Structure 1
């Protein structure tokens, strides 16, 4: 019997929810009865996921579509304001938006890439949290930040911008769990391992080669496969559930198929 969650009456705002982990998370919340906010930079992708959310919603609740770039503070403000104007509150914030920005330290554009990695992967999490706290305090809501096992492993050449931005999320999560506890806001983070999403497209590789890479990695994982977006979505739902995880805050939850314990190499 599969575990079913009930988020009826809850409002879940999931950043970067137009594809991959974010899209799967939005659909799971919708399927569990929540009012869902779908957001991303591509209007067509946002609309597609929003429609899928409405289809799986028990009451066919329409998902709120907000197109924007979370590296832009004005877009962040509009996202939050539109959510509150539409639903009147925010119960769950999933900071999922991010990008695999890489550069070797001796690259001429390293500082530019490093700055962009921080702005995209870390600063957006900090800003969204900062702006959502007043609303989450009213609902005694919770925050789930999507980090990466790259924050725990020494990365390969060129990965420092990405790894450091994700490591920052881990510490921010711990700090916020302690600081926001008196407001009864729980804050946790998830560290996915390799998940079969469009992440690998940053390397501009053929689709069949990407599939082979994921297959090779999966063979090294103790569970025998790489992750699927739904694997992480269910972890998000667990942490967001007050009935199931109401005593959990400040946790850095590893969901990596055994990547770290098996010391899997991607070389």
Structure 2
């Protein structure tokens, strides 16, 4: 995907997990990247990794910018767009990766405050960040890639009640945006990752043994055998959807799950097995 060289990219939630891996992937391909996160130390560490990856790949002309803050704040969204456009001269790619998972994300545990927080972070802020970036993306005929979840493509997932609802909303938001923004030359797609052991789930379920058990169950249930999906595999698909090789792909939700979804609704089966 040589066409990513020279691209100007924004990645939210870039200080860990899939977001960090995505920023590093673009750095390796010669893109200039704006990384957003809420933890200053982790954000600076991610920027350092991007610089090292770019240097190792022989890219010396790409640049990296960190914008600290919570994208639920409109001022942070403004900063992301304005600083990127000012520093790199354009915006080609917006990767909407930030998300939240509540610690007790169950029907019994749901509160109005928790539901509002999930929708505000996972859907509302994503929508208004895209809207804020549209003028720049229209100038570059750029694209948006939203990072959703395979949970959104199933009927339910026990223990991810609000999260699953929010990701289903994100999927359909991407479809609607593809329709709205297509006439402006802007593509919008989603990736739907399988379970990946990242900080977002470690924070929601802090027991390492439980996270390891979940990963083992997913690996066992996944039809495609081989190494389990990590952040790098997810980043590569995001990079493909952002590249010119995908220039006629828009309004799609791409499951990156090793055919796990072909089991029908595997997540409920996994819940039963876990018991």
Confirm or deny that 1:199 pairs with 2:200. yes
Note closer, same or farther for the CA distance 1:159–1:209 as it changes in structure 2 (3 Å cut). Answer: closer
Q: TM-score, normalised by structure 1?
A: 0.92
Which stretch shifts more, 72-81 or 207-216? Answer: 207-216
Confirm or deny that 1:187 pairs with 2:188. yes
Confirm or deny that 1:160 pairs with 2:161. yes
Q: Do 1:51 and 1:63's aligned partners in 2 also have CA atoms closer than 8 Å?
A: no
1:62 — aligned with what? 63
Report the CA distance between 1:158 and its aligned residue. 4.2
Aligned-partner Cα distance in 1 for 2:259–2:29: 28
Which of the pair is proportionally richer in helix? Answer: 2
Aligned residues: 262
Aligned-partner Cα distance in 2 for 1:215–1:132: 39
Report the CA distance between 1:6 and its aligned residue. 3.5
2:255 — aligned with what? 254
Aligned-partner SS, 1:98: coil
Aligned-partner Cα distance in 2 for 1:258–1:140: 32
Which stretch shifts more, 228-237 or 214-223? Answer: 214-223
Aligned-partner SS, 1:266: helix
2:270 — aligned with what? 266
Aligned-partner Cα distance in 2 for 1:205–1:238: 32
RMSD (CA atoms)? 1.6
Deviations 1:193-237 (A, max 9, x none): 111222321344332442232122211111235420011101011
Aligned-partner SS, 1:134: helix
Matches within 5 A, 1:1-267: 4-57=1-54, 58-60=58-60, 61-101=62-102, 102-107=104-109, 110-224=111-225, 226-242=228-244, 244-262=245-263, 263-264=265-266, 265-267=269-271
Aligned-partner SS, 2:255: strand
Aligned-partner Cα distance in 2 for 1:173–1:206: 33
Q: Do 1:46 and 1:67's aligned partners in 2 also have CA atoms closer than 8 Å?
A: yes
Deviations 1:103-131 (A, max 9, x none): 33343x61111100001101111011100
Aligned-partner SS, 2:254: strand
